[in-house]
Amino acid sequence: MESEYIYHITTLKEWEAAKAKNEYTPMNYEQDGFIHCSIEKQIPGVIDRFYKDQKGLVKLKIEKVKVQRPVLFELAHDIDELFPHIYGALNLDSVVSVDVIS
């Protein structure tokens, strides 16, 4: 069964800025065209590949049904896994928890 939650790693600084704007788009959104997310079991690999040795990170737990933009599971060809992508700004009321991870 597919989980009702997806996750996104960002910096505490970006999360604080999102709260001020009342929506979240990461710095690389314009370049990528979507918000990179993961399912729970993918998080350790994502942190290892993209955030190694970074500090000030938080993990957003997002309730999928509350996201107001399209959420598509798409293939990451380099590791042959499906990852959820949010196409548009993330509405903050879909975030059910924010955990500091480093």
Q: Measured on CA atoms in the order 55, 84, 35, 91, is the torsion positive or negative?
A: negative
Q: pTM above the 0.95 mark?
A: no
| Number of neighbouring beta carbons within 10 Å of residue 23 | 14
Q: What is the CATH number of the domain that holds 88?
A: 3.20.170.20
For the chain, what is the domain count?
1
Write the pLDDT tens digit of every residue in 53-68: 999 999 999 999 999 9
**Token pair for 16:** 């604080």
**Token pair for 81:** 């896994």
Domain of 52, in residue numbers: 5-100
| Torsion, CA 46, CA 48, CA 53, CA 54, rounded to 10 | 0
Looking at residue 1, what is its pLDDT?
45
